[in-house]
Structure 1
Amino acid sequence: MTRRLSHRIDVALGRYLPEQRLFLRTDHSTRFLRLSPMAQALGLASGAGVVAWAMLSTAILLTNHVGSGNLRDEARREQALYDQRLNALAGERDAAAEEVGAARERFEMAMGEVSRMQSELLASEERRRELETGMSVLQQSLRKTMAERDASRARSRTLAAELEGKGRQVAEGPRAADVQDTLAFLTGALEETAVERDTVAADAAAAYQLAEALAYEQKLVQERNDQIFTSLEEALTVSITPLDKMFKAAGLSTDQVINRVRQGYSGVGGPLTPLSMSTKGDDVLPSPDELRAAALVEKLDEINLYRIAAEKLPFAQPLKSAYRFTSPFGVRSHPTKGGQRMHEGVDFAAGYGTPIHATADGVVTKAGWVSGYGRLVTIRHEFGLETRYGHMAQIRVEEGQRVSRGDRIGDMGNSGRSTGTHLHYEVRVDGKPVNPMTYIKAARDVF
């Protein structure tokens, strides 16, 4: 039955693919191979299948290569934009700090000039009061002297009349000459006092004008400082908001994280120096600008604490090259044993030997072979977190070694219980597995 079917197929294909014979000739004999129409058809089909498979594989490889190149370019662009944003914020912060320092110096100079002018004004006022008192005394003396002069003149006229009546000539008494000298002295003193009074009044008016100009300049400096402080406060608020959202999206309390980091980075010290006492009193309160500057310093310190905390938590991705997300966190069908099992991590598939990086700062607690995981690296982080990297081809760290976020810790492989080259990545909090994508997604809009 099978031979009859094969014969019919050969007859049907013989119209298009006639039977061929391949002769093989040697020194002693000649042989030939018979190629039936069915054999020729199978050969052509096999060749066409191989060509189609090669074309499809080439297309897939080209697509993956182009896709991975686009992802790398996009990641580089995002990293460049983030670096540019950080550099711009740092430049604005430095420029604003320099402007604040310059404005504070100008303000202190203006306040010193105002203090000096106020001292001169008070001295001028004191001198003016002394001159007014002296002028009042001189006026009283002048009135008394003028009264004595008038009385002396009247007496001189009386004596002159008496002498003329008696026919004798009497010279004017010495008291009249003394009165004339006294009047001349007092007149000169009054003129000098009036000139000095006018000079003091002009100096006082100039001092008031300078004080008003300095007050106006101080007001302009205050408005400019207020604009600078407002810009800095807005920039810091914009910088802190995404970091705060990132920690909240990861299910972490920002207050607890910041307090934990602050406790770990709170060292102070220095040589003992003599205590200097201020001569201005102990009740000098800080100015509003000093309070706002102190608040900005606290905000900058808070951003630094956020940065330190972010480096200690697994917000980064373990792979920096192109990969496929092949298995999520949660219950799934076991790839080798079957049945529903809990998958306590996520799987990333890429090429054999792809570099694997630490997702946060920490200490390597395991670097070796573990049943099921194959070649495994375990890293202990702050806040009770732990990350695991399984199925490696090669481990590049040792137990007890301290690593930083982004350090290369191994190469992707297929060791342990695995169906192909991939990375099994876990995040555990106090020993309990959690979804690693929670941390990766939380940092997606920040890093």
Structure 2
Amino acid sequence: MGREHVYRTCTVFRTFCIFATCADGQQFVCQFQLGRFGLSSMEPIRTYWYRVLAGISSIKRLFDELFRERELILRSHGRVYFVPLTRRLQLSAASVVLVVALWGIGMTLMSTIKSGVIQVKNDEIREARVAYEDLFEDVLRYQKKVAAVTSTLRESQETLLARVGSGGDGGKPVKSNATAKPGDGAAGDKPALREHLSEIDLKVQQMAETNDLLEGSLDKIKTELKLAGDERDHIIKTRGKLRERIVQLEEMLIKSRTDRAYMERRVAELNTTLTQNQDEKGRVASERDSLKSRVGGLESGVKGANKRAKLAEVDLQMVLSKLEQTTGANGAAASRSDVAEIIDIDGETVTGDVATADLRRRTVALLQRLDDLHAAQGNVLDRLGERTVKNIEEAETLIAMTGLELDQVMDRATRTIAGQGGPLFEISSSEELNGLPGSVSVIDNQLTRWAALRALLKRVPLISPVDFYHMASSYGLRSDPFNNRKAMHYGVDLAGWGGAPVFATAPGKVIFAGRKGRYGKMVEIDHGYGIRTRYAHLQKVLVQRGEEVGHRHEIGLLGSTGRSTGPHVHYEVRFDGKPLNPDKFIKAGRYVFKGQ
């Protein structure tokens, strides 16, 4: 709401108007009928509406500030995504949070109110029980009195009946001091006695009715007390269930908050790790491609140099043979170094005919060309050797980190390298370790070892079988989760969500797929060179025995079959049947990305 307000007075209709303009251009008009006191009497109303409009303007600005347009920036696979958070979405989220908060407050209030109601009911039941006990004592006391009165009345009735019966006989005189006749007293008492007996019968009947009413009231009170007791028991059970439910909800809320915080931290760590791994993977791929192209270029250069050297050797032999025919037997016996000494390289005068001088110049040129080729080949081989040695050292360091026996596994890898052969070019014993042939021999051995290491690294499992996990149990001595006894654990337990995909950590052949005792559903893969991996406690197996699987091929789903306490995958790495620590292989795989 803007700060500018226009106050106008209409003298014709005697009305007071307030014109207020909002920030979005909308106008509000408030009109008031002027009283008989004129414009001065409208000052309090004008001030009041000014404050109201100013308050509405403040609330609107606060609302716009809290729920303004926002954007969430996400980065994945090297790309940046913008997720708009509109005002409607923010209002919906705030409404959901408000509803949840109100629900929690309502449940708390209901629990408090229920507790108060239960307490009131307990007090009423206690008072009813005390009243029932007092009434029961009064009824017992009244019953005793009624029984005593009834027995007294019965005795009196029997006595009167006996007296009436004896008076009616008239055979026995009654001793009396009066002068009346013996039968006059009995005859005069009969009506009075009968009336007295009637009154007594009436009182007894009333007492019986009262007793019946009291017994009915007592039964009714017993029934009400029983119902009240049942209701109290039901309320107590309901209160216990509500308390248990509240405790469960509080525990679930605490657990969900803890899990949410952990998952948020884990997702952030995994996103950071994934971004780093993707960047490192791209650099590794580009480095490998460049190395492959360089190795191919060097190999083609070496082949071309060897071919040119052979051609130069042939040309040199032809020149030497012609030189032998020209200069005689002594020239034929001279070596290549002797020919270089005989020829005047610095431009001195050479005696002989023109053909001999021309042949010698050609020989010098061929020797110089051969030396240049040897020098170029030596430089190429030196660079190739340095790079190959560096790659071999890194690969051997990586294999040593996994715990594998380097000599044994390299012996098997070297035997698998086939396809060796070619023409025989013998070298002298003096040139065996010096010069170009010696360098070629050394480089050939290094390239053979590097090829064996590359073939081996393709079969070594260097990743984890699941993408998202936490280490539930490491390799080595541990307390058994079922009996708490010390036992050897020949693998690692990677816990995660049930049903998550489980991947093969390296190419190989499935040699077992199915259920295997305490392992539950298990998959075992032979990667060659004596290396095997096991994936146990799977929920479902997705491969068959004899199937060839590649790197990160999905082989099953994470589960909790067999001797297991929860969803996880038991991961083992074995070399010639001997278990190794899988965590070393996973750390070595991380070292590959960090080292590139």
Report deviation, 1:69.
Answer: 1.6
Q: Which residue of 1 aligns with 2:169?
A: none
Q: Which residue of 2 aligns with 1:254?
A: 406
Local SS of the residue matching 1:445? helix
TM-score (norm 2): 0.48
Q: Report if the CA contact (8 A) 1:362-1:379 is conserved.
A: yes
Q: Which residue of 2 aligns with 1:191?
A: none
In 1, distance between residues paired with 2:271 and 2:395?
Answer: 29
Q: Report if the CA contact (8 A) 2:381-2:439 is conserved.
A: yes
1:175-254 aligned within 5 A? 201-254=353-406
Local SS of the residue matching 2:537? strand
Local SS of the residue matching 1:80? helix
Taking structure 1 as reference, are residues 363 and 93 closer, same or farther at Cα in structure 2, changes over 3 Å only? closer
Local SS of the residue matching 1:394? strand
Report deviation, 1:55.
Answer: 5.7
1:316 lines up with 2:468 in the alignment: no
1:322-361 aligned within 5 A? 322-361=468-507
Q: Which residue of 2 aligns with 1:424?
A: 570
1:76 corresponds, among 268, 278, 300, to 278
Q: Which residue of 1 aligns with 2:450?
A: 303
In 1, distance between residues paired with 2:318 and 2:487?
Answer: 84
Taking structure 1 as reference, are residues 21 and 334 closer, same or farther at Cα in structure 2, changes over 3 Å only? closer
Which of 47-56 and 102-111 deviates more? 47-56
Matching residue's letter, 1:390: A
Q: Which residue of 2 aligns with 1:183?
A: none
In 2, distance between residues paired with 1:360 and 1:97?
Answer: 29
Report deviation, 1:402.
Answer: 3.8
Q: Which residue of 1 aligns with 2:540?
A: 394
Taking structure 1 as reference, are residues 103 and 34 closer, same or farther at Cα in structure 2, changes over 3 Å only? closer
Local SS of the residue matching 1:241? helix
2:521 corresponds, among 375, 390, 397, to 375
Q: Which residue of 2 aligns with 1:86?
A: 288
In 2, distance between residues paired with 1:77 and 1:438?
Answer: 23
Report deviation, 1:328.
Answer: 0.7
In 2, distance between residues paired with 1:316 and 1:246?
Answer: 10
What percent identity do the matched residue pairs reach?
A: 26
Taking structure 1 as reference, are residues 233 and 74 closer, same or farther at Cα in structure 2, changes over 3 Å only? same
Local SS of the residue matching 1:341? strand
Report deviation, 1:240.
Answer: 1.0
1:165-176 aligned within 5 A? none
Report deviation, 1:431.
Answer: 4.3
Matching residue's letter, 2:283: L
1:139-150 aligned within 5 A? none
Taking structure 1 as reference, are residues 110 and 373 closer, same or farther at Cα in structure 2, changes over 3 Å only? closer
Q: Report if the CA contact (8 A) 1:246-1:442 is conserved.
A: yes
1:61-140 aligned within 5 A? 61-118=263-320, 121-122=323-324, 125=327
In 1, distance between residues paired with 2:534 and 2:109?
Answer: 64
Q: Which residue of 2 aligns with 1:169?
A: none
Report deviation, 1:386.
Answer: 3.8
Q: Report if the CA contact (8 A) 1:89-1:235 is conserved.
A: no
In 1, distance between residues paired with 2:567 and 2:578?
Answer: 26
Local SS of the residue matching 1:77? helix
Report deviation, 1:237.
Answer: 0.6
In 1, distance between residues paired with 2:248 and 2:363?
Answer: 101
Unmatched 5+ stretches in structure 1: 1-16, 23-32, 127-197, 270-275
Matching residue's letter, 1:241: E
Taking structure 1 as reference, are residues 54 and 229 closer, same or farther at Cα in structure 2, changes over 3 Å only? same
In 2, distance between residues paired with 1:433 and 1:396?
Answer: 25
Q: Report if the CA contact (8 A) 1:391-1:412 is conserved.
A: yes
In 2, distance between residues paired with 1:364 and 1:302?
Answer: 28
Report deviation, 1:209.
Answer: 3.6
Which of 340-349 and 97-106 deviates more? 97-106
Q: Report if the CA contact (8 A) 1:124-1:200 is conserved.
A: no
Taking structure 1 as reference, are residues 95 and 337 closer, same or farther at Cα in structure 2, changes over 3 Å only? same
Taking structure 1 as reference, are residues 206 and 380 closer, same or farther at Cα in structure 2, changes over 3 Å only? closer
In 1, distance between residues paired with 2:304 and 2:567?
Answer: 61
Taking structure 1 as reference, are residues 103 and 445 closer, same or farther at Cα in structure 2, changes over 3 Å only? same
TM-score (norm 1): 0.62
Local SS of the residue matching 2:518? coil
Matching residue's letter, 2:476: G
Q: Report if the CA contact (8 A) 2:403-2:580 is conserved.
A: no
Report deviation, 1:110.
Answer: 4.1
Local SS of the residue matching 2:591? coil
Residue by residue over 1:130-157, the C-alpha shift from the partner in whole angstroms, topping out at 9 and shown as x without a partner, is xxxxxxxxxxxxxxxxxxxxxxxxxxxx
Higher relative contact order (CA 8 A, sep 6+): 1
Taking structure 1 as reference, are residues 331 and 106 closer, same or farther at Cα in structure 2, changes over 3 Å only? closer
Q: Report if the CA contact (8 A) 1:364-1:400 is conserved.
A: yes
1:60 lines up with 2:262 in the alignment: yes
In 2, distance between residues paired with 1:318 and 1:371?
Answer: 24
Residue by residue over 1:182-235, the C-alpha shift from the partner in whole angstroms, topping out at 9 and shown as x without a partner, is xxxxxxxxxxxxxxxx99634444443443333333322222211111111111
Local SS of the residue matching 2:562? coil
In 2, distance between residues paired with 1:424 and 1:359?
Answer: 13
Local SS of the residue matching 2:566? coil
In 1, distance between residues paired with 2:358 and 2:466?
Answer: 71
1:292 corresponds, among 420, 439, 449, to 439
Taking structure 1 as reference, are residues 116 and 37 closer, same or farther at Cα in structure 2, changes over 3 Å only? farther
Q: How many residues align?
A: 335
Local SS of the residue matching 2:545? coil
In 2, distance between residues paired with 1:431 and 1:211?
Answer: 65
Local SS of the residue matching 1:365? strand
In 2, distance between residues paired with 1:283 and 1:71?
Answer: 54
Which of 326-335 and 433-442 deviates more? 433-442
